[in-house]
Amino acid sequence: MLDVAIIGGGPAGLTAGLYATRGGLKAVTMFERGMPGGQIMNSSEIENYPGVPTVMSGMDMMAVWPEQCSRFGLKHEMITVERISLNNDGTFKIHKEDGTNEDAFSVIVGTGSTPRRAGFKNEDKFFGRGVSTCATCDGFFYKNKEVTVIGGGDTALEEAIYLSTICSKVYLVHRRDNFRAAPSTVERVFKNDKIEVLLNSRPDEVFGDDMGVSGIHISTPNGIRTLNTTGVFIFVGNDINNAVLKQADGSFLCNLNESGEVIVDLNMRTNIKGLYATGDMRLDAPKQVVCAAGDGAAAAIDAISYFMEHKN
Ligand code: FAD
Ligand code: NAP
């Protein structure tokens, strides 16, 4: 039986592994379906991780994490976990894609989230080179420049307001004539001189060259409008990677909110004893590397206490 099973090897899972093993737990395995590092490995630039003063690629920044996090005995098994279930005695079973399974006294889940794409032409081609799903991460690269934001929910409007504090102008493109976001947020958008709202409008295509995006064509009620913005931010919803918590009968192992985020307390505890959720998948996650790492540490510290108090 594992002392702790960690599902996912992004910043949250790796940090949980470091803290759990350095804190004295002996049998700790991190199940990660690919190379450890998580979604930040797809980012060409990160400059907001404290203690790392140079701008570097996500791949370069994460390259040293697995070695450090494994130094105290964390094991990595490269496999996809299909499901976590609860045993009768309150321990957990980790169901792996090869049909085998493993028992664990407690489980820290950090399987992340996936921002949705809007589905316009060249969106994937220019992703990370002008097309972004993270204003906190990439907004600063467009300081005093014009940017386009796609979406009409709370995230799109709040991020448009945030970008208006950095950028010279923000075009907010929404496919309908009224917003899904909270009325107070909509009001703030319409009062913001730096935000121009394009309603009943859809992105058709981004265009650019080897350097990245140079503009975007938008279908508006008055025909095609071309916005020559080098930054295009998409906020059309998020898929939480919570599939490992789904049970054979379709229910979830622990409580989630209506967006599929796992409900946790400040120690990352779910409503099921010994089960933790960390990083981008948990309620109100700021979706930042530093926060995911912090969650991993908080969960592991609590999991050590749980192990000491309840094992035997
Ligand atoms: P993830 O990093 O998503 O890691 C989850 C891991 O779980 C993945 O490695 C995945 O393979 C694994 N996994 C999922 N399901 C399973 C399964 N069933 N079995 C086994 N393994 C599984 N943040 C910043 O702080 N600064 C930035 O500048 C920044 N820029 C970004 C740029 C881009 C393009 C993107 C996409 C994100 C950026 N972020 C940035 C956000 C940051 O990457 C995330 O907040 C952070 O990686 C979340 O960490 P996590 O450990 O919760 O999840
Ligand atoms: P969301 O509420 O699902 O909104 C997604 C938006 O993107 C919608 O306006 C939708 O248009 C649009 N959209 C979806 N697919 C699209 C596509 N392919 N092309 C163009 N537009 C597309 O997502 P969210 O804004 O990320 O919010 C998620 C949840 O978190 C919500 O419950 C939200 O209230 C909550 N949240 C709350 C706060 C807060 O309380 N401060 C902050 C952020 C998020 P339609 O409107 O036409 O469907």
Question: Which atom of ligand 1 is least distant from the CA of 37?
Answer: 9
User: For residue 80, is pLDDT > 80?
Assistant: yes
Contact 206, 123 (CB under 8 A): yes
What's the pTM? 0.84
Contact 95, 81 (CB under 8 A): yes
Q: What is the pLDDT of residues 276-306, one digit of tens each?
A: 999 999 999 998 999 999 999 999 999 999 9
Ligand 2 center from residue 238 Cα (angstroms): 8
> Whose alpha carbon is nearest atom 26 of ligand 2?
237
Say what the pLDDT of residue 63 is: 95
User: For residue 191, is pLDDT > 90?
Assistant: yes
Say what the pLDDT of residue 55 is: 85
Q: Which residue has the higher pLDDT, 296 or 40?
A: 296
User: For residue 42, is pLDDT > 90?
Assistant: no
**184 phi/psi in degrees, rounded to 5:** -65, -35
| Domains contained in the chain, CATH given | 2-114+238-310 (3.50.50.60), 117-234 (3.50.50.60)
> Whose alpha carbon is nearest atom 17 of ligand 2?
118
Percentage, residues of the chain above pLDDT 90: 90
Ligand 2 pocket member 8 (CB < 6 A): no
Q: What is the pLDDT of residues 141-164, one digit of tens each?
A: 999 999 999 999 988 998 999 999
User: For residue 67, is pLDDT > 90?
Assistant: yes
Ligand 2 center from residue 179 Cα (angstroms): 9
Reduce the secondary structure of the chain to three states and give it as a string. CEEEEEECCCHHHHHHHHHHHHCCCCCEEEEECCCCCCHHHHCCCECCCCCCCCCECHHHHHCCHHHHHHCCCCEEEECCEEEEEECCCCCEEEEECCCCEEEEEEEEECCCEEECCCCCECCCCCECCCEECCHHHHHHHHCCCEEEEECCCHHHHHHHHHHHCCCCEEEEECCCCCCCCCHHHHHHHHHCCCEEEECCCEEEEEEEECCEEEEEEEEECCEEEEECCCEEEECCCEEECCHHHECCCCCECCCECCCCCECCCCCCECCCCCEEECHHHECCCCCCHHHHHHHHHHHHHHHHHHHHHHCC
Say what the pLDDT of residue 96 is: 98
Max intra-chain CA distance, the chain: 71
> Whose alpha carbon is nearest atom 13 of ligand 2?
236
18-32, 132-146, 166-180, 253-267, range with the lowest pLDDT: 132-146
Q: How far apart are CA 231 and CA 216, in angstroms?
A: 9
Ligand 2 pocket member 236 (CB < 6 A): yes
How sure is the predictor about 45, in pLDDT bands with cuts at 50, 70 and 90? Answer: confident
Say what the pLDDT of residue 258 is: 94
Q: Which ligand is nearest to the Cα of residue 234, counting in written order?
A: 2
> Whose alpha carbon is nearest atom 35 of ligand 2?
154
User: For residue 47, is pLDDT > 90?
Assistant: no
Would you please indicate which residues are annotated as catalytic (active-site) residues?
Answer: 134, 137-138
Q: Which ligand is nearest to the Cα of residue 7, counting in written order?
A: 1
Say what the pLDDT of residue 56 is: 87
Q: What mean pLDDT, rounded, does the chain reach?
A: 96
Ligand 2 pocket member 257 (CB < 6 A): no
